[in-house]
């Protein structure tokens, strides 16, 4: 077998991130098994997904519908069946039905219109995606999406009452300028409120390459890590 420097690079980076997660869990007094790693593969080719799969990765994250759909379609059926595809980008209602055709988990539901569109697509495609409500922790960054904390309960109820969607919890991105730890602590409070009414909604999706330790300390169950594993974004063509 010919050497594959890229596979070696990914293996080293993945191991380093896994060590960071293990250390963060130990520091927070948490079981490492409570925290799942989603490797964000947006902007990287399907070949990298195959390399990551060979390294044991089973959860990948994508944020652009056209790119994600093509990438998933390129995967061999056995690999696709062994992966969970997480859609983590801001979602538009006109694209939501299409996303439901391939995404196993959608992290970025932040409006009632998205719930309806995603549910409609899921029914049409005979799928049952798991869904998280995206929470805006900054209140002033509309470009990143997210519902205000006081809107989350209503959205959670809508998802739970839908035909095909399965409510799993909440997601957030730390504010660009601010204390990630404080933001994630607020997310934990929002998550607890949702869980009080929907006991199966146990997921807290938070933390990326630069702030995963803060997320683990605040109770995150799912981390979305891209650049620390895959490196800098490749040049756009």
Q: pTM (2 decimals)? A: 0.96
Task: Judge whether 236 lies within some domain.
Answer: no
Residue 145: CB atoms within 10 A of its CB come to 19
Q: What is the pLDDT of residue 205?
A: 98
> How many structural domains comprise the chain?
1
Task: Judge whether 237 lies within some domain.
Answer: no
Task: Judge whether 210 lies within some domain.
Answer: yes
Q: What is the pLDDT of residue 143?
A: 60
Residue ranges making up the domain that contains 38: 5-230
Q: What is the pLDDT of residue 139?
A: 72
Residue 156: CB atoms within 10 A of its CB come to 26
Q: How far apart are CA 105 and CA 109, in angstroms?
A: 11
Task: Judge whether 235 lies within some domain.
Answer: no
Q: What share of the chain is helix, strand, coil (3-state, %, to 5)?
A: 45, 15, 35
Task: Judge whether 34 lies within some domain.
Answer: yes
The sign of the torsion formed by the CA atoms of 212, 85, 226, 167 equals: negative
Question: Band of the pLDDT at 178, cuts 50, 70, 90?
Answer: confident
Check pLDDT > 60 for residue 237. Answer: no
Give residue-wise pLDDT tens across range 180-234: 999 999 999 999 999 999 999 999 999 999 999 999 999 999 999 999 999 987 7
| Nearest CA-CA partner of 99 in 79, 111, 115 | 115
Task: Judge whether 13 lies within some domain.
Answer: yes
Task: Judge whether 40 lies within some domain.
Answer: yes
Question: Band of the pLDDT at 21, cuts 50, 70, 90?
Answer: very high
Q: Locate 220 and state its tokens.
A: 């995150």
Residue 77's domain is classified under what CATH number? 3.20.20.10
Please compute the mean of the pLDDT values over residues 78-97 and round it to a whole number: 96
Task: Judge whether 150 lies within some domain.
Answer: yes
């Amino acid at each position: 077998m010919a050497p594959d420097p890229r596979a070696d690079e990914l293996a080293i980076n993945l191991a380093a991130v896994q060590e960071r997660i293990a250390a963060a869990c130990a520091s927070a007094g948490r079981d490492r098994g409570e925290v799942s790693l989603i490797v964000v593969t947006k902007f990287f080719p399907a070949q990298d997904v195959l390399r990551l799969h060979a390294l044991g990765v089973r959860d990948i994250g994508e944020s652009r519908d056209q790119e994600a759909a093509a990438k998933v379609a390129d995967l061999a059926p056995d690999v696709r069946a062994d992966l969970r595809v997480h859609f983590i980008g801001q979602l538009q209602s006109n694209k939501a039905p299409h996303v439901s055709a391939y995404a196993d988990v959608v992290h970025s539901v932040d409006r009632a219109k998205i719930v309806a569109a995603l549910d409609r697509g899921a029914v049409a495609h005979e799928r049952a995606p798991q869904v998280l409500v995206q929470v805006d922790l900054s209140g002033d960054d509309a470009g990143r999406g997210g519902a205000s904390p006081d809107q989350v309960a209503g959205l959670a109820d809508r998802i739970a009452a839908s035909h095909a969607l399965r409510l799993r919890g909440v997601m957030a991105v730390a504010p660009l300028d601010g204390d990630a730890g404080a933001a994630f602590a607020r997310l934990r409070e929002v998550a607890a409120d949702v869980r009080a009414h929907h006991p199966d909604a146990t997921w807290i999706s938070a933390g990326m390459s630069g702030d995963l330790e803060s997320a683990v300390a605040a109770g995150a169950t799912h981390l979305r890590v891209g650049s620390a594993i895959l490196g800098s974004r490749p040049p756009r063509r």
